[in-house]
């Protein structure tokens, strides 16, 4: 998987297809332990300066879609701060190194966004170390798979709600005073908001809430000249799969899409670049789907 990904080819066979090796990791998962390893743009994303001089904070920026966003933003000219859990430091170190190699400032901010105090300090440290903030990507998420609602323990429900919803609220609230006109807030929702799988109901609930949060906040923030949008991915080959889904689901991930395969994180990155850049200047309150033909809404 190299920089020829933009050469014309059959998209159904551009990346690995299932069945994959049955695999499972404890949460949070790591990209380096996945087989095959996801393409997050490390060698395949080429930037064109669309975000030159911008300053971005990406939560969950160590792996998966967040990793692809951080790499793409740096290659488009932005300085980038990434948040991640301490257990994900190995993946995060790779991202920080890649950002620096692209000549951009990279800031590593490990910590658990289930804490309101940490969320506030995360934004403050980003502003201090980057010298400002004009792109906020609320991407970090927690997921777990259960066969019945009766098996969802309150502690696990709290973990998913605090990671996916509370943190998004706290971080966004802390960021707003720093966002000048032309800034962008981008949230990661999911096809699960529209077509929930029965075994990840709690996760799907949060992704539906993110859609409403995005649409409501977009109306407020346009009074400040700040755009708020979301991306709703379908099945993507990221660590949230082996760490939050049953191994059999992982083995056949993406098989039921018209493409017959899951998306790779790098395929999602251009949407996040569009929504952050002035090329997306008339996009506000939108939820852009990237689902391999499964559809959104």
pLDDT digits 0-9 by tens, 15-27:
999 999 888 887 7
Q: What is the mean pLDDT of residues 244-271?
A: 89
pTM (global) more than 0.85: yes
Q: What is the mean pLDDT of residues 69-73?
A: 98
Rounded to whole angstroms, how far apart are CA atoms 160 and 146?
Answer: 13
Q: What is the mean pLDDT of residues 96-118?
A: 98
Per-residue pLDDT for 207 more than 50? yes
Cβ-count burial of 132 within 10 angstroms (0-12 exposed, 13-18 middle, 19+ buried)?
A: middle
Cβ-count burial of 274 within 10 angstroms (0-12 exposed, 13-18 middle, 19+ buried)?
A: middle
Per-residue pLDDT for 97 more than 80? yes
For helices 201-221 and 167-175, what crossing angle results, to 10°?
20
Convert 42-57 to b/e letters by CB count within 10 Å (16 or more is b).
bebbebeebbeebbbb
The fraction of the chain above a pLDDT of 70, given in percent, is: 97
Of the listed ranges 133-147, 157-171, 277-291, the one predicted with least confidence:
133-147
Rounded to whole angstroms, how far apart are CA atoms 71 and 198?
Answer: 33
The residues carrying an active-site annotation are 203
Per-residue pLDDT for 195 more than 80? yes
Where does residue 79 fall: left (phi above 0), alpha (psi -120 to 50 degrees), or beta otherwise? beta
In contact, 261 and 292? CB cutoff 8 Å: yes
pLDDT, the chain, mean = 93
- CB within 8 A of 281, min separation 6: which ones? 227
Quick one: pLDDT at residue 296? Answer: 67
The fraction of the chain above a pLDDT of 90, given in percent, is: 82
Strands 135-138 and 55-59: parallel
Strands 55-59 and 184-188: unpaired
Rounded to whole angstroms, how far apart are CA atoms 209 and 170?
Answer: 15
Question: Which fold would CATH assign to domain 48-290?
Answer: Rossmann fold (3.40.50)
SS3 126: helix
Per-residue pLDDT for 3 more than 50? no
Convert 219-257 to b/e letters by CB count within 10 Å (16 or more is b).
eebeeeebbbbbbbbbbbbbbbbbbbbbeebbbebbbeb
Cβ-count burial of 104 within 10 angstroms (0-12 exposed, 13-18 middle, 19+ buried)?
A: buried
Tell me the pLDDT band of 2, cut-offs 50, 70 and 90: very low
- Determine the Cα angle at 130 with ends 117 and 68, to 5°: 85
Per-residue pLDDT for 221 more than 80? yes
């Amino acid at each position: 998987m190299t920089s020829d990904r933009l050469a014309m080819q059959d998209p159904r066979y551009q990346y690995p297809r299932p069945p994959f090796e049955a695999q499972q990791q404890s949460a949070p998962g790591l990209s380096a332990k996945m087989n095959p390893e996801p393409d997050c743009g490390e060698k395949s994303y080429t930037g064109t300066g669309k975000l030159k001089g911008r300053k971005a904070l990406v939560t969950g920026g160590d792996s998966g879609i967040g990793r692809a966003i951080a790499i793409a933003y740096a290659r488009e000219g932005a300085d980038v701060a990434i948040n991640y859990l301490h257990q994900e430091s190995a993946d995060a170190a790779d991202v920080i190194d890649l950002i620096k190699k692209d000549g951009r400032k990279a800031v590593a901010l490990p910590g658990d966004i289930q804490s309101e105090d940490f969320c506030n300090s995360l934004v403050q440290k980003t502003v201090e170390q980057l010298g400002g903030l004009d792109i906020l990507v609320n991407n970090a998420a927690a997921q777990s798979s259960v066969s019945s609602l009766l098996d969802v323990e309150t502690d696990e429900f709290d973990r998913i709600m605090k990671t996916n919803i509370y943190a998004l609220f706290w971080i966004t609230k802390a960021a707003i005073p720093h966002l000048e006109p032309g800034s962008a807030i981008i949230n990661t929702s999911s096809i699960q908001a529209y077509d929930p799988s029965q075994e990840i109901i709690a996760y799907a609930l949060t992704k539906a809430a993110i859609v409403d949060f995005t649409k409501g906040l977009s109306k407020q923030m346009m009074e400040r000249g700040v755009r708020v949008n979301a991306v709703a991915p379908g099945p993507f080959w990221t660590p949230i799969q082996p760490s939050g889904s049953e191994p059999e689901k992982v083995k056949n991930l993406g098989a039921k899409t018209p493409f017959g395969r899951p998306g790779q994180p790098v395929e999602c990155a251009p949407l996040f670049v569009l929504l952050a850049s002035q090329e997306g200047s008339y996009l506000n309150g939108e939820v852009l789907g990237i689902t391999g033909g499964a559809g959104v809404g």
